[in-house]
Chains A and B, each alone.
Chain A
Amino acid sequence: MPPKIGTDWDSWEVGKEIDGAVIVVTKELISHYVQAVEDYDPIFLNPADGEKAGFEGLVAPPSFHAQFTYMKWATGDAGWVPQGSVHVQQKFRFRGIVLEGDHLRTKVILGDKYEKNGRKYIVYKTEVTNQRGELVSLGEMTNILAS
């Protein structure tokens, strides 16, 4: 596991890949996410409703993969950043539909790090593609590190 940024600031190289994973999108994962964000749109629950709305089956919310590109590693005991760090800015570019059965490949790189007004900022950049190599989303997350 990479060292935590907050304790090893100097060694972190901008542009270096930090982590990545492949996630198989299941009906259960979509369902758990939908319950957590309370968006009970039928297209996220029933394949037939997804098809009726013009999708090719059960579809995931556009923000679905954000949990995998940041959250599992960004904070918590296995995290990169110290407890108490604050997420201040987020960009997303949604470019592909995620369906049940898709295999999402997530890549996270350290996009930037800088100090401003006595605070340390880090910027993660993410790219998510599917099993056909098609771009699903690009993201950028800015955190202020807890001192």
Chain B
Amino acid sequence: MSQPLLLNLQEGMELFGVVKHLSQEKINRFASVSGGTGMIHVDPEFGKKTRFQSTVAHGILLLAYVSEMMKNNFGKPWFTSGDMDIRFVGPAKPGDTLVARGKIQKLNVIQEKTQVSCLVWIENQRREKVVEGNTQLILES
């Protein structure tokens, strides 16, 4: 992260995305690190009996992908002024290829600062959204 990816910000500008290939192994690794060992995440037999008919990734893992995208695009200010309001609207399952995407919705300049508001989402290989929401941060001019 030597430099933020986005420069010369404009409303409507698309963010540089983040691609992740999900697997049961990766979900298990996150469960092990985080302690989030709910059966819906780590037990495929349990997952088959749920309405998702599969295990699913942790919401907190998906949130990390959105946060990574924001960090890549905007750099250090994301660490100290980042806001996320995220809804988990679909299951992210082992085997899915997920792409975190976003675009700048509004730029609001107040004195020496710019408030950046973005629409963000994660979609799978069928372009179905599994996450959608809003993010915001403050850039010093």
The chain A residues found within 8 Å of chain B, CB to CB, are 32-33, 35-39, 41-43, 52-55, 59, 61-63, 66-67, 70-77, 79, 83-97
Contact = CB atoms under 8 A, between A and B. Distances in A.
B68 A89 contact: no
B78 interface: yes
B33 A67 contact: yes
Interface stretch (B9-17, B53-61, B119-127): B53-61
Interface in B57-85: 58-61, 63-65, 67-68, 71-72, 75-76, 78-85
Nearest to B2: A53
Interface residues of B, number: 42
Interface of chain A, main secondary structure: mixed
Interface of chain B, main secondary structure: helix
B86 A55 contact: no
A90 B86 contact: yes
B35 A72 contact: yes
Given A61-B68, A71-B34, A38 B85 contact: no
18 contacts: A53-B76, A61-B68, A62-B71, A72-B36, A74-B36, A75-B36, A76-B37, A76-B38, A83-B39, A84-B38, A86-B88, A89-B87, A90-B60, A90-B63, A90-B85, A94-B80, A94-B82, A96-B79
